[in-house]
Amino acid sequence: MSLRKDIEALFREDWAEDPILSQLRVIATERELDQLAQDTALIRLKGLRREPTAPLRAKRVELLLTIISARTDLDRAGDDLEEYMNAAEDYLGPRFMHDAPSIVGYNDRLAIDIPLYITTTPAEVSPMFLAADTPTEPEE
């Protein structure tokens, strides 16, 4: 399974109990989404590079979380996205390194982009999620 799909499964599980984030359809794909019947959290791969401050062979995976409103009324979409943005930052803050959210367009819809950064090592079965204050070496 890919890291994108791992994150998709993690978000679906964790967000199921959140009153705001549970309203999102979570999908990990590089395809452009044409039809949006439901507000959507889209996870895409943006880059992969060597992480010089991490253990040997560790990679920094750069993902982009895009939360897209299904509404075509931009004012109502903006109101919805503000709630999603606050809930997403509360969730992501202690779990992932990420940049500040930015409001963007997605086709004819309003959306939020949140860049996520995850450090992984090839020997790991699942990704090692690193927050800013988490040690870079896995525990024995």
Q: What percent of the chain has pLDDT over 70?
A: 82
More confident residue, 64 or 127: 64
Could you tell me the pLDDT band of residue 123, with boundaries at 50, 70 and 90? low
Cβ–Cβ under 8 Å, residues 102 and 112: yes
Tell me: pLDDT of 127 over 60. no
Task: Tell me what pLDDT residue 126 has.
Answer: 46
What are the pLDDT digits (tens) for 95-105? Answer: 999 999 999 99
CA-to-CA distance for 26 and 89, rounded, in angstroms? 16
Q: What is the DSSP string of 41-62?
A: EEEEEEEEEE-TTSSTT-EEEE
What are the pLDDT digits (tens) for 29-77? Answer: 988 888 889 999 999 999 887 767 666 677 888 999 999 999 999 999 9
The model carries a pTM of: 0.81
Residues belonging to the chain = 140
Task: Tell me what pLDDT residue 110 has.
Answer: 95
Rounded to an integer, the average pLDDT of 97-118 is: 93
Tokens of residue 61, six digits: 């995976």
